[in-house]
Structure 1
Amino acid sequence: MFGYQKGLDVEAGTSGGAAATTGARQLYPGMQESPELRWALIRKIYVILSLQLLLTAVVAAVVVKVRAIPHFFTTTNAGLGLYIFLIILPFIVLCPLYFYHEKHPVNLILLGLFTVAISFSVGLTCAFTSGKVILESAILTTVVVLSLTAYTFWAVNRGKDFSFLGPFLFASLIVLLVFALIQILFPLGKLSQMIYGGLASLIFSGYIIYDTNNIIRRFTYDQYVWAAVSLYLDVINLFLSLMTLFRAAD
Protein backbone atom coordinates (compact mmCIF):
# COMPACT_ATOMS: atom_id res chain seq x y z
CA MET A 1 0.00 0.00 0.00
CA PHE A 2 2.78 2.38 0.89
CA GLY A 3 5.56 1.08 -1.33
CA TYR A 4 5.07 3.56 -4.13
CA GLN A 5 4.53 6.44 -1.69
CA LYS A 6 7.90 6.01 -0.06
CA GLY A 7 9.77 6.65 -3.30
CA LEU A 8 7.54 9.57 -4.14
CA ASP A 9 7.82 11.15 -0.73
CA VAL A 10 11.10 10.86 1.09
CA GLU A 11 13.68 9.76 -1.42
CA ALA A 12 12.42 11.98 -4.21
CA GLY A 13 12.53 15.04 -1.97
CA THR A 14 9.14 16.28 -3.12
CA SER A 15 7.41 16.03 0.23
CA GLY A 16 8.25 19.54 1.38
CA GLY A 17 6.11 21.07 -1.33
CA ALA A 18 3.33 18.60 -0.72
CA ALA A 19 3.28 19.41 2.98
CA ALA A 20 3.23 23.13 2.24
CA THR A 21 0.35 22.91 -0.22
CA THR A 22 -1.86 20.60 1.82
CA GLY A 23 -1.39 22.45 5.11
CA ALA A 24 -1.48 19.20 7.08
CA ARG A 25 -0.27 19.39 10.66
CA GLN A 26 3.36 18.34 11.00
CA LEU A 27 4.24 15.76 13.62
CA TYR A 28 7.55 17.38 14.58
CA PRO A 29 9.48 20.56 13.71
CA GLY A 30 11.41 20.45 10.44
CA MET A 31 9.45 17.50 9.08
CA GLN A 32 10.54 16.92 5.47
CA GLU A 33 8.06 14.24 4.36
CA SER A 34 4.36 14.55 3.71
CA PRO A 35 2.47 14.71 7.03
CA GLU A 36 -0.57 13.06 5.40
CA LEU A 37 1.42 10.00 4.36
CA ARG A 38 3.00 9.69 7.79
CA TRP A 39 -0.39 10.02 9.50
CA ALA A 40 -1.76 7.35 7.16
CA LEU A 41 1.10 5.04 8.15
CA ILE A 42 0.49 5.72 11.86
CA ARG A 43 -3.23 4.95 11.52
CA LYS A 44 -2.43 1.71 9.68
CA ILE A 45 0.00 0.61 12.39
CA TYR A 46 -2.44 1.29 15.21
CA VAL A 47 -5.27 -0.50 13.39
CA ILE A 48 -3.06 -3.59 13.09
CA LEU A 49 -2.03 -3.25 16.74
CA SER A 50 -5.68 -2.97 17.83
CA LEU A 51 -6.56 -6.13 15.89
CA GLN A 52 -3.63 -7.97 17.47
CA LEU A 53 -4.68 -6.95 20.98
CA LEU A 54 -8.30 -7.86 20.25
CA LEU A 55 -7.26 -11.30 19.00
CA THR A 56 -5.08 -11.77 22.08
CA ALA A 57 -7.95 -10.82 24.39
CA VAL A 58 -10.34 -13.24 22.65
CA VAL A 59 -7.89 -16.17 22.65
CA ALA A 60 -6.89 -15.53 26.27
CA ALA A 61 -10.53 -15.33 27.34
CA VAL A 62 -11.29 -18.66 25.66
CA VAL A 63 -8.29 -20.32 27.32
CA VAL A 64 -9.33 -18.96 30.73
CA LYS A 65 -13.03 -19.79 30.42
CA VAL A 66 -12.65 -23.29 28.94
CA ARG A 67 -10.96 -24.97 31.89
CA ALA A 68 -10.29 -28.11 29.87
CA ILE A 69 -7.61 -26.23 27.89
CA PRO A 70 -5.25 -25.35 30.80
CA HIS A 71 -6.07 -28.75 32.35
CA PHE A 72 -4.86 -30.44 29.18
CA PHE A 73 -1.66 -28.41 29.09
CA THR A 74 -0.79 -29.07 32.74
CA THR A 75 -1.80 -32.70 33.25
CA THR A 76 -0.74 -34.52 30.06
CA ASN A 77 2.64 -35.10 28.47
CA ALA A 78 1.25 -34.08 25.08
CA GLY A 79 -0.08 -30.85 26.60
CA LEU A 80 3.26 -30.09 28.23
CA GLY A 81 5.09 -30.65 24.95
CA LEU A 82 2.58 -28.46 23.12
CA TYR A 83 2.97 -25.76 25.78
CA ILE A 84 6.75 -25.74 25.33
CA PHE A 85 6.26 -25.58 21.56
CA LEU A 86 3.88 -22.60 21.90
CA ILE A 87 6.47 -20.78 24.02
CA ILE A 88 9.18 -21.38 21.42
CA LEU A 89 6.95 -20.76 18.38
CA PRO A 90 6.93 -16.91 18.58
CA PHE A 91 10.74 -16.86 18.48
CA ILE A 92 10.70 -19.23 15.50
CA VAL A 93 8.16 -17.11 13.61
CA LEU A 94 9.92 -13.86 14.51
CA CYS A 95 12.94 -14.73 12.34
CA PRO A 96 11.09 -15.10 8.99
CA LEU A 97 8.79 -12.26 10.02
CA TYR A 98 11.82 -9.97 10.33
CA PHE A 99 13.08 -10.90 6.84
CA TYR A 100 9.65 -10.80 5.16
CA HIS A 101 7.95 -7.99 7.07
CA GLU A 102 7.84 -5.92 3.86
CA LYS A 103 6.52 -8.78 1.65
CA HIS A 104 2.73 -8.72 1.35
CA PRO A 105 0.79 -10.97 2.09
CA VAL A 106 3.46 -13.21 3.66
CA ASN A 107 4.06 -10.61 6.36
CA LEU A 108 0.39 -10.63 7.41
CA ILE A 109 0.25 -14.44 7.50
CA LEU A 110 3.35 -14.61 9.69
CA LEU A 111 2.00 -11.77 11.81
CA GLY A 112 -1.23 -13.69 12.43
CA LEU A 113 0.65 -16.86 13.38
CA PHE A 114 2.93 -14.88 15.69
CA THR A 115 -0.02 -13.16 17.38
CA VAL A 116 -1.93 -16.42 17.93
CA ALA A 117 1.14 -18.07 19.49
CA ILE A 118 1.67 -15.14 21.86
CA SER A 119 -2.05 -15.11 22.67
CA PHE A 120 -2.04 -18.72 23.79
CA SER A 121 0.93 -18.06 26.07
CA VAL A 122 -0.84 -15.04 27.57
CA GLY A 123 -4.04 -17.05 27.98
CA LEU A 124 -2.26 -19.88 29.81
CA THR A 125 -0.60 -17.38 32.12
CA CYS A 126 -3.95 -15.76 32.87
CA ALA A 127 -5.56 -19.17 33.46
CA PHE A 128 -3.50 -19.56 36.63
CA THR A 129 -3.96 -16.00 37.83
CA SER A 130 -6.85 -14.55 39.81
CA GLY A 131 -9.40 -12.42 37.98
CA LYS A 132 -8.66 -9.49 40.29
CA VAL A 133 -4.98 -9.46 39.28
CA ILE A 134 -5.84 -9.77 35.58
CA LEU A 135 -8.31 -6.89 35.78
CA GLU A 136 -5.89 -4.64 37.69
CA SER A 137 -3.10 -5.40 35.22
CA ALA A 138 -5.34 -4.79 32.19
CA ILE A 139 -6.63 -1.46 33.51
CA LEU A 140 -3.19 -0.18 34.45
CA THR A 141 -1.70 -1.35 31.13
CA THR A 142 -4.42 0.53 29.23
CA VAL A 143 -3.86 3.71 31.23
CA VAL A 144 -0.06 3.55 30.88
CA VAL A 145 -0.11 2.81 27.13
CA LEU A 146 -2.59 5.60 26.34
CA SER A 147 -0.78 8.10 28.58
CA LEU A 148 2.70 7.33 27.24
CA THR A 149 1.48 7.37 23.63
CA ALA A 150 -0.19 10.75 24.09
CA TYR A 151 2.89 12.11 25.87
CA THR A 152 5.24 10.89 23.14
CA PHE A 153 3.18 12.48 20.36
CA TRP A 154 3.03 15.72 22.39
CA ALA A 155 6.77 15.73 23.13
CA VAL A 156 7.84 14.83 19.57
CA ASN A 157 5.59 17.58 18.24
CA ARG A 158 7.65 19.99 20.34
CA GLY A 159 10.97 18.72 18.99
CA LYS A 160 11.86 15.90 21.40
CA ASP A 161 13.62 12.84 20.00
CA PHE A 162 13.71 9.74 22.19
CA SER A 163 16.04 7.68 20.00
CA PHE A 164 18.78 8.10 22.64
CA LEU A 165 16.83 5.66 24.85
CA GLY A 166 17.69 2.71 22.58
CA PRO A 167 21.08 1.68 24.07
CA PHE A 168 19.89 2.20 27.66
CA LEU A 169 16.73 0.14 27.13
CA PHE A 170 18.66 -2.65 25.44
CA ALA A 171 21.16 -2.81 28.30
CA SER A 172 18.30 -2.79 30.82
CA LEU A 173 16.60 -5.62 28.95
CA ILE A 174 19.77 -7.73 29.13
CA VAL A 175 19.97 -7.14 32.88
CA LEU A 176 16.29 -8.07 33.21
CA LEU A 177 16.80 -11.34 31.32
CA VAL A 178 19.76 -12.26 33.52
CA PHE A 179 17.70 -11.42 36.61
CA ALA A 180 14.89 -13.65 35.34
CA LEU A 181 17.34 -16.50 34.72
CA ILE A 182 18.70 -16.17 38.26
CA GLN A 183 15.13 -16.15 39.58
CA ILE A 184 14.40 -19.40 37.72
CA LEU A 185 17.56 -21.16 38.91
CA PHE A 186 17.57 -19.74 42.44
CA PRO A 187 14.05 -18.62 43.44
CA LEU A 188 14.30 -15.66 45.79
CA GLY A 189 10.66 -15.42 46.82
CA LYS A 190 7.82 -12.98 46.23
CA LEU A 191 9.89 -9.90 46.97
CA SER A 192 12.21 -10.64 44.06
CA GLN A 193 9.18 -11.27 41.85
CA MET A 194 7.81 -7.86 42.79
CA ILE A 195 11.17 -6.26 42.03
CA TYR A 196 11.31 -8.06 38.68
CA GLY A 197 7.75 -7.02 37.80
CA GLY A 198 8.42 -3.40 38.74
CA LEU A 199 11.69 -3.17 36.78
CA ALA A 200 10.16 -4.89 33.75
CA SER A 201 7.19 -2.51 33.83
CA LEU A 202 9.52 0.51 33.76
CA ILE A 203 11.66 -0.95 30.95
CA PHE A 204 8.73 -1.77 28.68
CA SER A 205 7.14 1.60 29.42
CA GLY A 206 10.36 3.10 28.10
CA TYR A 207 10.14 0.87 25.04
CA ILE A 208 6.62 2.17 24.35
CA ILE A 209 8.00 5.71 24.21
CA TYR A 210 10.99 4.61 22.13
CA ASP A 211 8.98 2.63 19.56
CA THR A 212 6.26 5.29 19.33
CA ASN A 213 8.99 7.84 18.61
CA ASN A 214 10.33 5.58 15.83
CA ILE A 215 6.85 5.22 14.35
CA ILE A 216 6.51 8.99 14.20
CA ARG A 217 9.99 9.68 12.86
CA ARG A 218 11.78 6.66 11.39
CA PHE A 219 9.77 3.62 10.31
CA THR A 220 9.35 3.59 6.53
CA TYR A 221 6.04 3.06 4.79
CA ASP A 222 6.77 -0.61 4.08
CA GLN A 223 7.65 -1.41 7.69
CA TYR A 224 4.15 -1.14 9.14
CA VAL A 225 4.07 -4.81 10.20
CA TRP A 226 7.37 -4.65 12.07
CA ALA A 227 6.32 -1.41 13.75
CA ALA A 228 3.07 -3.05 14.90
CA VAL A 229 5.00 -6.08 16.20
CA SER A 230 7.33 -3.82 18.19
CA LEU A 231 4.49 -1.99 19.90
CA TYR A 232 2.51 -5.20 20.40
CA LEU A 233 5.41 -6.83 22.25
CA ASP A 234 5.82 -3.71 24.38
CA VAL A 235 2.17 -3.76 25.43
CA ILE A 236 2.03 -7.52 26.07
CA ASN A 237 5.26 -7.52 28.07
CA LEU A 238 4.05 -4.53 30.09
CA PHE A 239 0.82 -6.40 30.88
CA LEU A 240 2.67 -9.58 31.90
CA SER A 241 5.12 -7.56 34.01
CA LEU A 242 2.33 -5.82 35.88
CA MET A 243 0.58 -9.15 36.35
CA THR A 244 3.79 -10.61 37.86
CA LEU A 245 3.99 -7.61 40.20
CA PHE A 246 0.35 -7.77 41.33
CA ARG A 247 0.35 -11.55 41.62
CA ALA A 248 3.36 -11.47 43.94
CA ALA A 249 1.75 -8.72 46.01
CA ASP A 250 -1.68 -10.40 46.14
Structure 2
Amino acid sequence: MTSKTDSPPSYEDALHHPKSGNDPYQPQHGAPLPPPPYSPSPGMCHGPPGCWGQGGVYPQASINPGRGFCPTGMPIPTLSAGMSASNPGDMDDFFSNQWESTSVRHAFIRKVYLILTAQLSVTFSVVAVFTFVDPVKLFVIKYPGIYWASLVVYFLVYCILVCCKEPRRRFPLNLVLLGIFTLALSYMAGTISSYYETKAVLLAMGITAIVCIAVTIFCFQTKVDFTSCGGFLCIAAVLLMIIGIVTAIVLSFQYVPWLHMLYAAIGAIVYTLFLVYNTQLLIGNRELAISPEEYIYGALSLYVDIVQIFLFILQISGAVTE
Protein backbone atom coordinates (compact mmCIF):
# COMPACT_ATOMS: atom_id res chain seq x y z
CA MET A 1 0.00 0.00 0.00
CA THR A 2 1.31 3.47 -0.90
CA SER A 3 0.34 6.85 0.58
CA LYS A 4 -1.59 9.50 -1.25
CA THR A 5 1.43 11.77 -1.55
CA ASP A 6 3.40 9.00 -3.23
CA SER A 7 0.78 8.28 -5.89
CA PRO A 8 1.93 8.72 -9.49
CA PRO A 9 0.87 11.85 -11.42
CA SER A 10 -1.69 11.91 -14.17
CA TYR A 11 -0.74 11.54 -17.79
CA GLU A 12 -1.31 15.23 -18.69
CA ASP A 13 0.55 16.47 -15.63
CA ALA A 14 3.49 14.23 -16.26
CA LEU A 15 3.50 15.33 -19.90
CA HIS A 16 3.58 19.10 -19.14
CA HIS A 17 5.58 19.01 -15.89
CA PRO A 18 7.77 15.88 -15.73
CA LYS A 19 9.80 17.27 -12.84
CA SER A 20 6.92 18.71 -10.89
CA GLY A 21 6.39 17.55 -7.37
CA ASN A 22 3.09 19.39 -6.83
CA ASP A 23 -0.17 17.70 -6.11
CA PRO A 24 -1.28 16.07 -9.37
CA TYR A 25 -4.89 16.63 -8.50
CA GLN A 26 -4.66 20.44 -8.41
CA PRO A 27 -5.26 22.23 -11.74
CA GLN A 28 -2.19 23.74 -13.33
CA HIS A 29 -2.06 27.24 -14.95
CA GLY A 30 -5.75 27.77 -14.24
CA ALA A 31 -6.92 25.21 -16.74
CA PRO A 32 -9.19 22.50 -15.32
CA LEU A 33 -8.14 18.98 -16.08
CA PRO A 34 -10.53 16.12 -16.54
CA PRO A 35 -10.54 13.63 -13.69
CA PRO A 36 -8.56 10.46 -14.27
CA PRO A 37 -10.52 7.32 -15.12
CA TYR A 38 -10.74 6.02 -11.59
CA SER A 39 -12.67 2.93 -10.71
CA PRO A 40 -16.02 3.60 -8.97
CA SER A 41 -15.09 1.24 -6.19
CA PRO A 42 -11.76 0.48 -4.52
CA GLY A 43 -9.81 -2.41 -5.92
CA MET A 44 -11.92 -2.71 -9.09
CA CYS A 45 -10.69 -1.68 -12.54
CA HIS A 46 -13.05 -1.37 -15.51
CA GLY A 47 -10.46 0.06 -17.83
CA PRO A 48 -7.26 -1.27 -19.27
CA PRO A 49 -4.70 -2.98 -17.03
CA GLY A 50 -2.62 -0.55 -15.00
CA CYS A 51 -5.30 1.97 -13.98
CA TRP A 52 -5.32 3.25 -10.44
CA GLY A 53 -7.90 2.97 -7.70
CA GLN A 54 -9.41 5.73 -5.59
CA GLY A 55 -7.07 7.84 -3.54
CA GLY A 56 -4.04 6.75 -5.52
CA VAL A 57 -4.18 3.22 -4.15
CA TYR A 58 -3.18 0.29 -6.26
CA PRO A 59 -6.09 -2.01 -7.17
CA GLN A 60 -6.44 -4.89 -4.77
CA ALA A 61 -6.31 -8.49 -6.01
CA SER A 62 -9.79 -9.97 -6.26
CA ILE A 63 -11.21 -13.35 -7.12
CA ASN A 64 -13.85 -11.62 -9.25
CA PRO A 65 -11.91 -8.86 -11.09
CA GLY A 66 -13.39 -6.33 -13.48
CA ARG A 67 -13.42 -6.46 -17.22
CA GLY A 68 -10.06 -6.54 -18.89
CA PHE A 69 -8.21 -7.67 -15.75
CA CYS A 70 -6.73 -11.16 -15.39
CA PRO A 71 -5.10 -11.76 -12.00
CA THR A 72 -1.86 -13.63 -12.22
CA GLY A 73 -2.59 -15.59 -9.04
CA MET A 74 -5.67 -17.38 -10.36
CA PRO A 75 -4.90 -21.01 -11.43
CA ILE A 76 -5.54 -21.95 -15.03
CA PRO A 77 -7.63 -25.13 -15.37
CA THR A 78 -5.72 -28.00 -16.95
CA LEU A 79 -6.14 -31.74 -17.44
CA SER A 80 -4.34 -32.29 -14.15
CA ALA A 81 -6.80 -30.20 -12.13
CA GLY A 82 -7.40 -33.13 -9.79
CA MET A 83 -3.74 -33.23 -8.80
CA SER A 84 -2.22 -31.13 -6.04
CA ALA A 85 -0.51 -27.95 -7.18
CA SER A 86 2.26 -28.49 -4.65
CA ASN A 87 3.24 -31.80 -6.35
CA PRO A 88 3.53 -31.22 -10.10
CA GLY A 89 4.86 -34.75 -10.61
CA ASP A 90 1.69 -36.45 -9.37
CA MET A 91 0.24 -36.68 -12.87
CA ASP A 92 3.43 -38.30 -14.18
CA ASP A 93 3.40 -40.72 -11.26
CA PHE A 94 -0.25 -41.55 -11.93
CA PHE A 95 0.34 -42.41 -15.60
CA SER A 96 3.54 -44.24 -14.69
CA ASN A 97 1.70 -46.42 -12.18
CA GLN A 98 -1.06 -47.12 -14.70
CA TRP A 99 1.51 -48.13 -17.31
CA GLU A 100 3.40 -50.33 -14.85
CA SER A 101 0.24 -52.13 -13.70
CA THR A 102 -0.78 -52.73 -17.32
CA SER A 103 2.68 -54.02 -18.19
CA VAL A 104 2.69 -56.34 -15.18
CA ARG A 105 -0.76 -57.68 -16.10
CA HIS A 106 0.29 -58.32 -19.70
CA ALA A 107 3.45 -60.10 -18.57
CA PHE A 108 1.35 -62.18 -16.19
CA ILE A 109 -1.06 -63.17 -18.99
CA ARG A 110 1.83 -64.16 -21.28
CA LYS A 111 3.39 -66.27 -18.54
CA VAL A 112 0.10 -68.04 -17.81
CA TYR A 113 -0.53 -68.86 -21.45
CA LEU A 114 3.02 -70.11 -21.94
CA ILE A 115 2.56 -72.53 -19.03
CA LEU A 116 -0.87 -73.50 -20.34
CA THR A 117 0.53 -74.17 -23.82
CA ALA A 118 3.18 -76.47 -22.38
CA GLN A 119 0.57 -78.32 -20.32
CA LEU A 120 -1.81 -78.80 -23.25
CA SER A 121 1.05 -79.96 -25.49
CA VAL A 122 1.95 -82.67 -22.99
CA THR A 123 -1.69 -83.68 -22.49
CA PHE A 124 -2.67 -83.99 -26.12
CA SER A 125 0.62 -85.77 -26.92
CA VAL A 126 -0.24 -88.40 -24.31
CA VAL A 127 -3.80 -88.60 -25.66
CA ALA A 128 -2.42 -89.14 -29.17
CA VAL A 129 -0.20 -91.95 -27.92
CA PHE A 130 -3.11 -93.68 -26.19
CA THR A 131 -5.28 -93.19 -29.27
CA PHE A 132 -3.00 -94.11 -32.17
CA VAL A 133 -0.71 -96.73 -30.56
CA ASP A 134 -2.72 -99.95 -30.31
CA PRO A 135 -0.47 -101.80 -27.79
CA VAL A 136 -0.77 -98.91 -25.32
CA LYS A 137 -4.53 -98.74 -25.82
CA LEU A 138 -4.95 -102.46 -25.22
CA PHE A 139 -2.69 -102.37 -22.15
CA VAL A 140 -4.77 -99.63 -20.51
CA ILE A 141 -8.02 -101.44 -21.27
CA LYS A 142 -6.60 -104.65 -19.83
CA TYR A 143 -5.40 -103.03 -16.58
CA PRO A 144 -7.96 -100.38 -15.52
CA GLY A 145 -6.35 -100.02 -12.09
CA ILE A 146 -3.78 -97.68 -13.65
CA TYR A 147 -6.58 -95.30 -14.58
CA TRP A 148 -7.93 -95.20 -11.01
CA ALA A 149 -4.41 -94.58 -9.67
CA SER A 150 -3.99 -91.58 -11.99
CA LEU A 151 -7.38 -90.28 -10.83
CA VAL A 152 -6.29 -90.40 -7.17
CA VAL A 153 -2.99 -88.63 -7.93
CA TYR A 154 -4.91 -85.99 -9.92
CA PHE A 155 -7.20 -85.10 -7.00
CA LEU A 156 -4.44 -85.09 -4.39
CA VAL A 157 -2.06 -82.87 -6.36
CA TYR A 158 -4.90 -80.54 -7.35
CA CYS A 159 -5.88 -79.99 -3.72
CA ILE A 160 -2.24 -79.30 -2.76
CA LEU A 161 -1.80 -76.76 -5.55
CA VAL A 162 -5.01 -74.92 -4.72
CA CYS A 163 -4.05 -74.68 -1.04
CA CYS A 164 -0.44 -73.55 -1.71
CA LYS A 165 -0.85 -70.43 -3.90
CA GLU A 166 2.41 -68.74 -2.85
CA PRO A 167 4.82 -68.88 -5.80
CA ARG A 168 7.47 -66.69 -4.14
CA ARG A 169 7.95 -69.03 -1.21
CA ARG A 170 7.18 -72.33 -2.87
CA PHE A 171 8.26 -71.63 -6.45
CA PRO A 172 10.19 -74.88 -7.10
CA LEU A 173 7.68 -76.98 -5.21
CA ASN A 174 4.74 -75.53 -7.13
CA LEU A 175 6.42 -76.20 -10.46
CA VAL A 176 7.17 -79.80 -9.48
CA LEU A 177 3.59 -80.33 -8.28
CA LEU A 178 2.27 -78.70 -11.44
CA GLY A 179 4.35 -81.07 -13.55
CA ILE A 180 3.10 -84.10 -11.59
CA PHE A 181 -0.47 -82.84 -11.87
CA THR A 182 -0.12 -82.34 -15.63
CA LEU A 183 1.22 -85.87 -16.11
CA ALA A 184 -1.52 -87.36 -13.93
CA LEU A 185 -4.33 -85.55 -15.72
CA SER A 186 -2.75 -86.29 -19.11
CA TYR A 187 -2.58 -89.96 -18.29
CA MET A 188 -6.19 -89.94 -17.08
CA ALA A 189 -7.34 -88.20 -20.27
CA GLY A 190 -5.31 -90.67 -22.33
CA THR A 191 -6.82 -93.71 -20.61
CA ILE A 192 -10.34 -92.35 -21.15
CA SER A 193 -9.55 -91.63 -24.81
CA SER A 194 -8.35 -95.21 -25.32
CA TYR A 195 -11.96 -96.44 -24.84
CA TYR A 196 -13.20 -94.37 -27.81
CA GLU A 197 -12.62 -94.52 -31.52
CA THR A 198 -9.97 -92.38 -33.16
CA LYS A 199 -12.57 -90.40 -35.08
CA ALA A 200 -14.39 -89.45 -31.87
CA VAL A 201 -11.14 -88.33 -30.22
CA LEU A 202 -10.13 -86.13 -33.15
CA LEU A 203 -13.62 -84.64 -33.31
CA ALA A 204 -13.52 -83.84 -29.60
CA MET A 205 -10.09 -82.19 -29.96
CA GLY A 206 -11.30 -79.99 -32.80
CA ILE A 207 -14.47 -78.90 -31.00
CA THR A 208 -12.52 -78.18 -27.82
CA ALA A 209 -10.03 -76.01 -29.70
CA ILE A 210 -12.84 -74.03 -31.34
CA VAL A 211 -14.62 -73.53 -28.00
CA CYS A 212 -11.45 -72.34 -26.25
CA ILE A 213 -10.55 -69.86 -28.99
CA ALA A 214 -14.11 -68.49 -29.10
CA VAL A 215 -14.23 -68.11 -25.30
CA THR A 216 -10.86 -66.33 -25.20
CA ILE A 217 -11.87 -63.84 -27.90
CA PHE A 218 -15.23 -63.29 -26.18
CA CYS A 219 -13.59 -62.58 -22.81
CA PHE A 220 -11.15 -60.07 -24.27
CA GLN A 221 -13.87 -58.20 -26.19
CA THR A 222 -17.02 -58.29 -24.05
CA LYS A 223 -17.97 -55.77 -21.35
CA VAL A 224 -20.10 -58.32 -19.48
CA ASP A 225 -18.59 -59.16 -16.09
CA PHE A 226 -18.70 -62.89 -15.29
CA THR A 227 -16.43 -62.61 -12.26
CA SER A 228 -19.44 -61.63 -10.14
CA CYS A 229 -21.14 -64.97 -10.93
CA GLY A 230 -18.94 -67.13 -8.70
CA GLY A 231 -21.86 -68.22 -6.51
CA PHE A 232 -23.91 -69.26 -9.51
CA LEU A 233 -21.01 -71.33 -10.85
CA CYS A 234 -20.56 -73.06 -7.49
CA ILE A 235 -24.24 -74.03 -7.50
CA ALA A 236 -23.92 -75.28 -11.09
CA ALA A 237 -20.89 -77.39 -10.09
CA VAL A 238 -22.79 -78.95 -7.18
CA LEU A 239 -25.75 -79.72 -9.44
CA LEU A 240 -23.40 -81.26 -12.00
CA MET A 241 -21.92 -83.51 -9.32
CA ILE A 242 -25.40 -84.63 -8.19
CA ILE A 243 -26.48 -85.31 -11.77
CA GLY A 244 -23.29 -87.32 -12.30
CA ILE A 245 -23.97 -89.50 -9.27
CA VAL A 246 -27.58 -90.09 -10.34
CA THR A 247 -26.46 -90.90 -13.88
CA ALA A 248 -23.87 -93.39 -12.63
CA ILE A 249 -26.49 -95.16 -10.47
CA VAL A 250 -29.06 -95.28 -13.29
CA LEU A 251 -26.57 -96.49 -15.89
CA SER A 252 -25.40 -99.27 -13.57
CA PHE A 253 -28.86 -100.85 -13.73
CA GLN A 254 -29.94 -99.99 -17.26
CA TYR A 255 -28.13 -98.16 -20.03
CA VAL A 256 -29.96 -95.02 -21.10
CA PRO A 257 -28.03 -93.33 -23.96
CA TRP A 258 -29.85 -90.00 -23.87
CA LEU A 259 -29.23 -89.61 -20.10
CA HIS A 260 -25.49 -90.07 -20.56
CA MET A 261 -25.39 -87.54 -23.40
CA LEU A 262 -27.48 -85.08 -21.37
CA TYR A 263 -25.05 -85.27 -18.47
CA ALA A 264 -22.09 -84.77 -20.84
CA ALA A 265 -23.76 -81.76 -22.48
CA ILE A 266 -24.48 -80.14 -19.11
CA GLY A 267 -20.91 -80.77 -18.00
CA ALA A 268 -19.48 -79.21 -21.15
CA ILE A 269 -21.66 -76.10 -20.68
CA VAL A 270 -20.76 -75.73 -16.99
CA TYR A 271 -17.01 -76.01 -17.62
CA THR A 272 -17.28 -73.57 -20.55
CA LEU A 273 -18.78 -71.06 -18.11
CA PHE A 274 -15.92 -71.81 -15.72
CA LEU A 275 -13.47 -71.15 -18.55
CA VAL A 276 -15.11 -67.76 -19.16
CA TYR A 277 -14.97 -66.97 -15.44
CA ASN A 278 -11.30 -67.93 -15.01
CA THR A 279 -10.26 -66.14 -18.21
CA GLN A 280 -11.81 -62.88 -17.01
CA LEU A 281 -10.11 -63.33 -13.64
CA LEU A 282 -6.88 -63.66 -15.58
CA ILE A 283 -7.45 -60.50 -17.66
CA GLY A 284 -7.99 -58.40 -14.54
CA ASN A 285 -10.24 -55.57 -15.81
CA ARG A 286 -13.36 -56.76 -14.02
CA GLU A 287 -14.71 -56.73 -10.46
CA LEU A 288 -12.43 -59.59 -9.38
CA ALA A 289 -8.97 -60.51 -10.62
CA ILE A 290 -6.13 -62.93 -9.92
CA SER A 291 -2.98 -61.48 -8.43
CA PRO A 292 -0.05 -61.36 -10.90
CA GLU A 293 1.93 -63.50 -8.47
CA GLU A 294 -0.49 -66.43 -8.81
CA TYR A 295 0.38 -67.38 -12.38
CA ILE A 296 0.59 -71.08 -11.49
CA TYR A 297 -2.93 -71.04 -10.10
CA GLY A 298 -4.17 -69.16 -13.18
CA ALA A 299 -2.63 -71.69 -15.56
CA LEU A 300 -3.95 -74.55 -13.43
CA SER A 301 -7.54 -73.24 -13.53
CA LEU A 302 -7.58 -72.79 -17.31
CA TYR A 303 -5.90 -76.16 -17.85
CA VAL A 304 -8.45 -78.07 -15.77
CA ASP A 305 -11.35 -76.32 -17.52
CA ILE A 306 -10.04 -77.12 -21.01
CA VAL A 307 -9.33 -80.76 -20.24
CA GLN A 308 -12.74 -81.23 -18.64
CA ILE A 309 -14.42 -79.64 -21.67
CA PHE A 310 -12.51 -82.08 -23.88
CA LEU A 311 -13.56 -85.09 -21.81
CA PHE A 312 -17.25 -84.12 -21.79
CA ILE A 313 -17.24 -83.43 -25.53
CA LEU A 314 -15.46 -86.75 -26.04
CA GLN A 315 -18.34 -88.54 -24.35
CA ILE A 316 -20.83 -86.83 -26.65
CA SER A 317 -18.82 -87.48 -29.82
CA GLY A 318 -18.17 -91.07 -28.77
CA ALA A 319 -21.88 -91.71 -28.25
CA VAL A 320 -22.67 -90.13 -31.62
CA THR A 321 -20.04 -92.11 -33.54
CA GLU A 322 -21.16 -95.38 -31.97
Give the TM-score, by structure 1 length.
Answer: 0.82
- 1:105 is aligned to 172
Q: 1:120 to 1:183 in 2, by over 3 A?
A: same
Code of the aligned partner of 1:230: S
Give the structure 1 partner of residue 276 of structure 2.
209
1:58 is the counterpart of 2:128: no
The 5-angstrom pairing of residues 29-108 of structure 1 reads 34-75=101-142, 79-101=143-165, 102=167, 103-108=170-175
Name the structure where helix makes up a greater proportion of residues: 1
Q: CA deviation at 1:226?
A: 0.7
Is the Cα–Cα contact under 8 Å of residues 191 and 248 in structure 1 kept in the other structure?
no
Aligned to 1:182: 246
Q: Which runs of 4+ in 1 moved over 6 A?
A: none
3-state SS of 1:222 partner:
coil
Seen in structure 2, the aligned counterparts of structure 1 residues 175 and 247 have a Cα distance that, compared at 3 Å, is same
Per-residue CA deviations over 1:13-48 (Å, capped at 9, x if unaligned) read xxx956724985xxxxxxxx7111100000100110
Summarize the Cα distance change of 1:228–1:17 in structure 2 as closer, same or farther, 3 Å threshold. farther
Q: Contact 1:19–1:35 at 8 Å: present in 2 too?
A: no
Cross-structure match for 1:6: none
Q: For the aligned residues, what is the CA RMSD? A: 1.9
SS of 2:171's partner is: coil
Task: Specify the structure having the higher radius of gyration (Cα).
Answer: 2
Q: Which runs of 5+ in 1 are unaligned?
A: 1-15, 25-32
Query: Post-superposition shift, 1:68?
Result: 2.6
Question: How many corresponding residue pairs?
Answer: 221
Tell me, in whole angstroms, the C-alpha distance in 1 between the residues paired with 2:93 and 2:199: 51
Hey, what's the Cα distance between the residues in 1 that align with 2:93 and 2:105?
12
Aligned counterpart in structure 2 of residue 148 of structure 1, from 189, 201, 215: 215
SS in 2 for 1:116: helix
Q: Is 1:242 the equivalent of 2:313? A: yes
State the match for 2:299 in structure 1. 228
The Cα of 1:83 is off from its aligned counterpart by 2.1
Give 1:160-175 correspondences, 5 Å limit: 160-175=224-239
2:204, 2:314 within 8 Å by CA — same for their partners in 1?
A: yes
Question: Which gives a bigger RCO, structure 1 or 2 (Cα 8 Å, sep 6+)?
Answer: 1
On the 8 A contact 2:157/2:180 being kept in 1, the answer is yes
The verdict on how the C-alpha distance between 1:184 and 1:19 changes in structure 2, with shifts beyond 3 A counting, is farther
Alpha-carbon distance between aligned partners in 2 of 1:170 and 1:69, rounded to the nearest angstrom: 37
Report if aligned partners of 2:131, 2:198 keep a CA contact under 8 Å in 1.
Answer: no
Please give the secondary structure, in 2, of the residue aligned with 1:34.
helix
- Contiguous gaps of at least 5 residues in structure 2: 1-90
SS at match of 1:171: helix
CA distance 1:129–1:74, change in 2 (3 Å): closer
**Letter paired with 2:312:** S
